[in-house]
């Protein structure tokens, strides 16, 4: 088959396009970095999850150890059930506690894990029992006002 | 007075019916185009030639405007985010706005005015100089020899051009915010990578640009094929291509975005 300049340009153009897609997928979209690793799923119940979203990070000591896989409402206990997909490289003791925290003052919400002292590790399907809900600003202000009023009442 | 109102109303009605007729004719044109595509895909050399004209020759404008759009996004984003002390998030802002919206839409608008108008003018002129009729006389179908290769070339080129546009834009944003304004490079990339999702941002952008490619080339080839065989007719058809494909891109973008966005993210 004879070769023409058009062939060369067509090849170069298609290659450039796919290279751009590859850059977008790997460098910008971080494909394969955290989807490919093996994970195990554990559950945690929270009274209030605030603005937590699916795919929010799960951190322990500030290090990314997993992602929020699913958020459901448990209609028997009237609590939120959050499924966490943790990186299989990290194991946590059975009595680890989970809390919903905010990165920075206005940043995204994430789940923070604080390791306990148990010898046994959490395994697929286990449930974290010690949890702390998200801080809701309105409730915090309400509590503060309530305490303030109580203090003032005690002084009088 | 009454006569004048009647005439205006008649003209509006005529224009409206004419538009409806055009939409119907375009749909029929699309079906015939699909049926005629087999031959041109088997003779892929024809499509490659058109990819060279509508894709490769659009590269310069796509690369340069992608760079500039990314740079402007970096500058504006830095300026605004700095107020909240969140200038590291400028990478997220640049990447998400390019991948989701600006990449497909601006590349589509540029493609419509750079390649779409050329396609219309070329086909319109071929029709005006009776080249299409001559082909018909020689039992060569203009649909599969002229129209279909241009259509498939546009469909192939458009997603690639949009991807190149987005990648150049991200690079432009990187240059402005990290190299010039001094945002930390590590946080720039890591925040971007944790915010951008492959399936919901990159793939959706590619789907959008693919749809825009189909829309622009169908409009461009139809307008050219339908142009009155006069100098005035060809110029009018070229203008209509640019105007209506721009409008269609923006309208389709709204519809596609509404379909793609999920509430929980």
Domain boundaries, chain A: 1-31, 39-141
CA distance A20 to A8: 18
* pLDDT exceeds cutoff 50 at B265: no
* pLDDT exceeds cutoff 90 at B237: yes
Interface of A with B in 91-150 (CB under 8 A): 104, 106
Q: The domain containing residue B86 runs over which residues?
A: 2-260
Q: What is the pLDDT of residues B118-174, one digit of tens each?
A: 999 999 999 999 898 898 899 888 888 889 999 999 999 999 999 999 999 999 999
- What distance separates the 2 farthest-apart alpha carbons in chain A? 100
pLDDT at B264: 47
Q: Minimal Cα–Cα distance from A140 to chain B, Å?
A: 23
CA distance B26 to B19: 10
CA distance B65 to B169: 8
Is the minimum CB–CB distance between A1 and chain B shorter than 8 Å? no
Question: Are A33 and B193 within 8 A, CB to CB?
Answer: yes
Taking residues A39-62, what's their average pLDDT? Answer: 86
Q: Is residue B125 part of a domain?
A: yes
Is the minimum CB–CB distance between A28 and chain B shorter than 8 Å? yes
Question: Are B95 and A28 within 8 A, CB to CB?
Answer: yes
- Decide if B162 contacts B98 (C-beta within 8 A): no
Question: Are B160 and A28 within 8 A, CB to CB?
Answer: no
Question: Are B197 and A53 within 8 A, CB to CB?
Answer: no
Question: Are B49 and A6 within 8 A, CB to CB?
Answer: yes
- Give B-chain residues touching A10 at CB under 8 angstroms: 48, 51-52, 56
pLDDT at A32: 58
Collapsing DSSP to helix, strand or coil, A155 comes out as helix
Give the pLDDT band (50/70/90) at residue A108.
confident
For the record, the structure tokens of B6 come out as: 């009647």
User: What is the number of structural domains in chain B?
Assistant: 1
pLDDT at B261: 78
Taking residues B84-110, what's their average pLDDT? Answer: 89
For the record, the structure tokens of B87 come out as: 């200038």
CA distance B195 to B258: 20
With CA atoms as reference, report the closest residue to B142 among B151, B131, B154, B128.
B131
Q: Minimal Cα–Cα distance from A156 to chain B, Å?
A: 42
Q: Indicate the burial class of A90 (C-beta count within 10 angstroms; 0-12, 13-18, 19 or more).
A: middle
Q: What is the pLDDT of residues B206-227, one digit of tens each?
A: 999 999 999 999 999 999 998 8
Give the pLDDT band (50/70/90) at residue A31.
low
Question: Are A10 and B52 within 8 A, CB to CB?
Answer: yes
Is the minimum CB–CB distance between A51 and chain B shorter than 8 Å? no
CA distance B159 to B213: 7
Is the minimum CB–CB distance between B201 and chain A shorter than 8 Å? yes
Taking residues A39-59, what's their average pLDDT? Answer: 86
Collapsing DSSP to helix, strand or coil, B132 comes out as helix
For the record, the structure tokens of A141 come out as: 């202000």
With CA atoms as reference, report the closest residue to A93 among A120, A125, A130.
A120
- Give A-chain residues touching B44 at CB under 8 angstroms: none
pLDDT, averaged across chain B = 89
pLDDT at B166: 93
Question: Are B51 and A10 within 8 A, CB to CB?
Answer: yes
Is the minimum CB–CB distance between A8 and chain B shorter than 8 Å? no
Cα angle: A140, vertex A144, A148; to 5 degrees:
170
- pTM, full prediction: 0.77
* pLDDT exceeds cutoff 70 at A6: yes
């Amino acid at each position: 088959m004879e070769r023409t300049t058009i062939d060369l340009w067509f090849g170069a153009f298609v290659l450039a396009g796919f290279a751009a897609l590859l850059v977008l997928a790997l460098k910008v979209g971080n494909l394969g970095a955290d989807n490919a690793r093996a994970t195990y799923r554990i559950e945690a119940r929270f009274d209030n999850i605030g603005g937590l979203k699916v795919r929010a990070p799960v951190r322990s000591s500030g290090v990314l150890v997993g992602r929020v896989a699913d958020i459901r409402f448990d209609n028997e206990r009237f609590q939120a059930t959050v499924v966490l997909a943790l990186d299989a490289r990290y194991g946590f003791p059975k009595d680890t506690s989970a809390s919903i925290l905010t990165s920075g003052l206005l940043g995204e919400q994430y789940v923070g894990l604080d390791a306990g002292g148990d010898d046994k590790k959490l395994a697929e399907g286990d449930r974290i029992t010690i949890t702390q809900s998200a801080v809701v600003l309105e409730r915090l202000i309400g509590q503060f006002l309530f305490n303030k009023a109580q203090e003032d009442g005690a002084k009088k | 007075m009454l006569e004048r109102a009647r005439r205006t109303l008649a003209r509006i009605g005529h224009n409206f019916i004419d538009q409806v007729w055009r939409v119907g004719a375009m749909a029929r044109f699309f079906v015939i185009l699909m049926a005629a595509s087999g031959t041109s895909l088997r003779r892929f050399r024809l499509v490659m030639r058109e990819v060279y004209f509508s894709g490769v020759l659009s590269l310069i404008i796509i690369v340069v405007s992608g760079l500039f759009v990314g740079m402007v996004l970096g500058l504006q984003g830095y300026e605004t985010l700095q107020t909240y002390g969140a200038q590291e998030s400028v990478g997220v802002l640049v990447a998400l706005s390019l991948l989701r919206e600006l990449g497909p839409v601006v590349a589509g608008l540029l493609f419509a005015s750079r390649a779409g108008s050329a396609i219309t003018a070329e086909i319109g002129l071929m029709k005006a100089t009776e080249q299409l009729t001559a082909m018909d006389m020689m039992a060569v179908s203009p649909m599969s020899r002229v129209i279909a290769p241009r259509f498939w070339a546009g469909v192939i080129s458009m997603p690639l051009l949009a991807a190149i546009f987005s990648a150049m834009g991200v690079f432009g944003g990187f240059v402005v915010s990290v190299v010039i304004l001094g945002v930390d490079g590590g946080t720039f990339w890591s925040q971007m990578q944790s915010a951008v999702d492959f399936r919901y941002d990159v793939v959706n952008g590619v789907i959008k640009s693919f749809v825009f490619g189909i829309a622009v080339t169908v409009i461009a080839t139809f307008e050219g094929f339908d142009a009155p065989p006069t100098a005035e007719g060809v110029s009018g058809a070229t203008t209509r291509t640019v105007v209506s494909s721009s409008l269609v891109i923006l309208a389709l973008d709204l519809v596609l975005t509404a379909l793609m966005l999920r509430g929980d993210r």
